[in-house]
Structure 1
Amino acid sequence: MTGSHLLNDSSVDNDVLLNVQDLETHFFGEQSVTRALGGVSFQVKRGETLGVVGESGCGKSVTALSILRLLPKGSAKTVGGEVRFNGRNLLDLAEREMRSIRGGKIGMIFQDPMTSLNPVYTVGRQIAEAVQIHTRASRSEALDRAEEMLSLVRIADPVRRVKNYPHEMSGGMRQRVMIAMALACSPELLIADEPTTALDVTIQAQILRLIVDLKERTGTSVIFITHDLGVVAETCQRVIVMYAGRIVEQANVRDLFARPMHPYTKALMRSVPDRRRGRERRLAEIPGIVPSLRDKIIGCSFAPRCPYSTDVCRENTPVLTERDSAHAVACWHAEKVVSA
């Protein structure tokens, strides 16, 4: 049995909220097919924060959009796998049922709040609309909830700010509005897709602390999508590392940072500055580029960039396999990576 199955067997753990199995998503062009996800499997437990890391284009955001069925119609389609939320396969639900889950049971914070918020409506109306769609609240009750949520995400003077339009707010405030909207209906799962990317460092830290505080207060499970390993170390309990549309490693955060088993994970860590005294070192770059997902990949997708690759890597695709308790890796030479 492969590690992907061992780590995703919901029959032995009734505390699993989300169970993704063998998810495959393709984008269709006029003359080509891009295999954006190639069989992604993972779980999210109740009250857990799961980090999803990897370079741009590795499939992090596509995974989130596939879960919520928000892929662009006509050009993208989930062609295989299951997404079980509270035991129900979201891929089998009618669109009407999915609309009741999006924003209600599962909330999402998108990367750019300026393009996610409607510029012609006040932020209060937009939050209130989400509340009315998923609850039986009246218009006045929904607006009261909007004020409450703005206060919860620490926006000063929420009674006045609820009447503001998105352009009247700073980037950090707009991101707080997005968090308020995502949490307004008390979802069981929050997907945060690089919510601090466009913000300066000080505001990034405030937003991260806010998400962590709200998660601890509400008990909401969180999927935190990021390319920043520092964010993962501060906010997550478990982490999955993605590369070229596949999961190449997954473990709890402490184990991953103490003992990375995949050469890609190790390379990502070496490309991050280590500011601890006496540990100054030259940053390492990862040579090469991510392979095109329009072409069929034979063997390990990381092999052309990997210092440990051999003929077996270039000819056979490694399967995500459990090596230690709850630590799985898709690599033919994991032992060499650990010992190096």
Structure 2
Amino acid sequence: MLTQRTVGEEILLDVRNLETHFYGEESITRALGGISFQVKKGETLGVVGESGCGKSVTALSILRLLPKLAAETVGGEVWFQGHNLLELPEREMRKIRGDKIAMIFQDPMTSLNPVHTVGRQIAEAVQIHTGASRTIAMAKAEEMLRFVRISDPERRVNNYPHEISGGMRQRVMIAMALACSPELLIADEPTTALDVTIQAQILRLIVDLKERMGTAVMFITHDLGVVAETCQRVIVMYAGRIVEQATVTDLFARPMHPYTRALMRSVPDRRQGRQRRLPEIPGIVPSLREPIVGCSFAPRCPFSIDICRLQTPVLSDVESGHAAACWRSEEIVGT
């Protein structure tokens, strides 16, 4: 019998103490070290951090799309509509993927099947989750291409992925993800490898579609500018853990974790006449193959003291709705 619980009306996704490991021949990589966060109905939650901090692994763990044998979610809970997704039989999980929770992957060229037309691939998702006939599903595919502003959808529905541009392929991925009107859309760096103009178009499209459909969005990115433009709340990840969590307004006004402050200082200032050398964060991200003692950012942190290297800080509220995992967060706010 499946475990159920009552979920608050406005909470759509509730992730609790999620832990994921990757297995090598002689080592275990602790990719996620017990992260907890929530996604509210209709909001856009930004997930930011350097490459390798666990952003994409979080999404794949939620949807249980980790590579078999090589990776495993070893602890935690993922609550969605009263069920813990980690306990669902695979058959039930397949009904949720693409229907209730959909995902846009980083590289549409490797995510789309090269031997099927884009229309057929969108229609397949509609058929699987709604039971529609092939004719109705293809009509829906054409409608979705029009919905994501692809011109001449009647013709494009018969194109193969290699016959359309990178920007169009990303729009096709968005159309496929939204075809069944999901309640949660996970966008994993959807503007990677696109030029600046197309990036802006894709971001505007996602924001517009979210507002029109009421879909909640979990937006994974390393670009703080994207977060400022698209998100209401944000979590900052480092070395498989959440180090700060706040509304976007509070995060940019008062970053409380040294890592968040370092990320913000690394953003280029494009205002006219502003030229400066961008500061770099010294050191490297620690290896997750060995247990980390103390704060994972301590070796790179200019504020670290003895306790930082001996005890792991817990993510806790410093101000209402603004949490940080730092022993010195209250002192840092005033510096």
Q: Does structure 1 conserve the Cα–Cα contact (< 8 Å) formed by 2:7 and 2:81? A: no
Q: State how 1:228-243 maps to structure 2 within 5 Å.
A: 228-243=223-238
Q: Distance in 1 between matches of 2:274 and 2:333?
A: 20
Q: Does structure 1 conserve the Cα–Cα contact (< 8 Å) formed by 2:48 and 2:220? A: yes
In structure 1, the residue corresponding to 2:98 is in which secondary structure? coil
2:290 pairs with 1:295: yes
In structure 1, the partner of 2:54 is: 59
In structure 2, the residue corresponding to 1:319 is in which secondary structure? coil
In structure 2, the partner of 1:95 is: 90
Structure 1 counterpart of 2:331, from 329, 333, 336 = 336
In structure 2, the partner of 1:171 is: 166
Q: Does structure 1 conserve the Cα–Cα contact (< 8 Å) formed by 2:7 and 2:82? A: no
2:23 pairs with 1:45: no
Structure 2 counterpart of 1:199, from 194, 197, 202 = 194
In structure 1, the partner of 2:146 is: 151
Q: Distance in 2 between matches of 1:279 and 1:267?
A: 19
In structure 2, the residue corresponding to 1:43 is in which secondary structure? strand
Q: CA deviation at 1:156?
A: 0.3
Q: State how 1:269-284 maps to structure 2 within 5 Å.
A: 269-276=264-271, 280-284=275-279
In structure 2, the partner of 1:17 is: 12
Number of residue equivalences: 331
For 1:154-209, what per-residue CA distance to the aligned partner results, in whole angstroms no more than 9, with x for missing partners? 00000000000000010000000000000000000000000001100000000000
Q: Distance in 1 between matches of 2:46 and 2:82?
A: 22
2:246 pairs with 1:246: no
Q: Distance in 2 between matches of 1:229 and 1:87?
A: 32
In structure 1, the residue corresponding to 2:227 is in which secondary structure? helix
Structure 2 counterpart of 1:190, from 158, 161, 185 = 185
Q: CA deviation at 1:335?
A: 2.2
Instruction: Give the partner amino acid of 1:321.
Output: S
In structure 1, the residue corresponding to 2:125 is in which secondary structure? helix
Q: Distance in 1 between matches of 2:197 and 2:52?
A: 27
Instruction: Give the partner amino acid of 1:263.
Output: P
Q: Distance in 1 between matches of 2:164 and 2:35?
A: 38
Structure 1 counterpart of 2:211, from 211, 216, 225 = 216
In structure 2, the partner of 1:227 is: 222
In structure 1, the residue corresponding to 2:237 is in which secondary structure? strand
Q: Does structure 1 conserve the Cα–Cα contact (< 8 Å) formed by 2:239 and 2:296? A: yes
For 1:251-301, what per-residue CA distance to the aligned partner results, in whole angstroms no more than 9, with x for missing partners? 000000000000000000000012235755431110111000001100000
TM-score, length-scaled by structure 1: 0.96
Q: CA deviation at 1:86?
A: 1.2
Q: Distance in 2 between matches of 1:12 and 1:177?
A: 33
* Stretches of structure 1 lacking an aligned partner (at least 5 in a row): 1-9
Identity rate of aligned residues, in percent? Answer: 80
Instruction: Give the partner amino acid of 2:326.
Output: C
Q: Distance in 1 between matches of 2:273 and 2:46?
A: 29
Q: CA deviation at 1:124?
A: 0.3
2:112 pairs with 1:117: yes
In structure 2, the partner of 1:106 is: 101
In structure 2, the partner of 1:311 is: 306
Instruction: Give the partner amino acid of 2:293.
Output: I
TM-score, length-scaled by structure 2: 0.97
Instruction: Give the partner amino acid of 1:152.
Output: F
In structure 2, the residue corresponding to 1:191 is in which secondary structure? strand
For 1:142-165, what per-residue CA distance to the aligned partner results, in whole angstroms no more than 9, with x for missing partners? 000000000000000000000000
